[in-house]
Structure 1
């Protein structure tokens, strides 16, 4: 089975936008999905030119706001019994300790728990439904929801996109630098070997080859010329 990032990379580019909006919307609604991983993957695809960063950001923002709004409506209608039922069915995500942590965040930050919850994985799936369960006024929830969706989804897309482009340029420049270094190293090695060969021939001329490339035989002493007898 493919991982989420591999799955996103395998779908057609036009489907990435809808997929990102759907994943983040379902996570915001209260379903424990890795929305952040999906957003980072789509932003890296944008950095590679596969999809538009503006399209990814807008779909992610829309999914975050709409998902949180639906979660708020479900929480307002279902109330605390909804969380108790979810806790029994999904104890790893909606257990009593998770719910207690989320409630403490709402007691401390109020409406801003919805805003800051965008940046915390635990609160991201609790923010909408819990705000509805606690009967937070909708206008306060809406302000924090919209601001949080824009800052988190838009900011994450922009940040990952810029980092991806910078890394791509760095790797591209590094490849050219590596190629240039290889050429210089190769030329330098050839020059050093050529100089060493020249010094070796100068030190041992007897081992040098003749014009034909064969060793020159040593000179033989001249034989004395015999004088005719008187």
Structure 2
């Protein structure tokens, strides 16, 4: 089947539900390609397959609700939850990833939740880590709602407008837009993993360079 015919046959309700589900689960703390799902749905909207308004609304709701559930889980589980996840999923929740996310929270406070919407690693950690660090919920909610609206709504609008401008070109090479989205998500994940690995190396080097405390034996009587 030609890709155009397949895209045209996707039920709009299924697209809205998938966008909300994938972004919601990613925000909750499960490493899923939320950004790729959103960009793909916005490209469909540019072709008239789905409504850009409903894509944005579902993405915003998924982001806000998923982050709020993640916050509740993190508040109940605390840091031991991350340590347990780090042992089971070291590629996504390892000590270096957690340390990098914690530094972002120490630097930006509640705005780490807002900016975390635009960074692959923080998008997964923001909700649960805010809860584990006992951030007041009202602060978290403000940053969560603002981040969800700006990220999901802004991404949908931007991709939709670009898609409309290039509609004729995309109709012949629609798969290129999806490949670009996948490449962008992969590069973002690679970049954050690289930064996390460097942070881990620096942390290990600092620990190795730290002087070992000497224990003085008590004098004999």
Note the 1:31-110 alignment, pairs <5 A: 31-110=30-109
SS at match of 1:60: helix
Q: Which has the higher contact order (CA 8 A, sep 6+)?
A: 2
Quick one: structure 1 residues 8 and 141, their matched pair in 2 at CA, closer, same or farther if it must change by over 3 Å?
farther
Task: State the partner residue of 1:29.
Answer: 28
Deviations 1:11-68 (A, max 9, x none): 4222110110000000000000000000000000000000000000000000000000
1:129 paired with 2:128, answer yes
Contact conserved, 1:8 with 1:42, CA < 8 A, in 2? no
Quick one: structure 1 residues 163 and 110, their matched pair in 2 at CA, closer, same or farther if it must change by over 3 Å?
same
Instruction: Determine the C-alpha separation between the residues in 2 that align with 1:21 and 1:49.
Output: 19
1:8 positional shift:
8.3
Instruction: Determine the C-alpha separation between the residues in 1 that align with 2:12 and 2:169.
Output: 25
Contact conserved, 1:17 with 1:55, CA < 8 A, in 2? yes
Instruction: Determine the C-alpha separation between the residues in 1 that align with 2:109 and 2:60.
Output: 22
Note the 1:1-230 alignment, pairs <5 A: 11-169=10-168
Contact conserved, 2:76 with 2:132, CA < 8 A, in 1? yes
Please give the root-mean-square deviation of Cα atoms over the aligned residues, in Å.
1.7
Instruction: Determine the C-alpha separation between the residues in 2 that align with 1:8 and 1:85.
Output: 41
Contact conserved, 2:24 with 2:62, CA < 8 A, in 1? yes
TM-score by length of 2: 0.72
Aligned residues: 166
TM-score by length of 1: 0.70
Quick one: structure 1 residues 40 and 171, their matched pair in 2 at CA, closer, same or farther if it must change by over 3 Å?
closer
Instruction: Determine the C-alpha separation between the residues in 2 that align with 1:75 and 1:68.
Output: 10
Contact conserved, 1:117 with 1:124, CA < 8 A, in 2? yes
Contact conserved, 2:77 with 2:132, CA < 8 A, in 1? yes
Contact conserved, 1:8 with 1:16, CA < 8 A, in 2? no
Instruction: Determine the C-alpha separation between the residues in 2 that align with 1:139 and 1:168.
Output: 42
Contact conserved, 2:45 with 2:160, CA < 8 A, in 1? yes
Instruction: Determine the C-alpha separation between the residues in 2 that align with 1:63 and 1:171.
Output: 27
Task: State the partner residue of 1:217.
Answer: none
Deviations 1:168-209 (A, max 9, x none): 15678xxxxxxxxxxxxxxxxxxxxxxxxxxxxxxxxxxxxx
SS at match of 1:32: coil
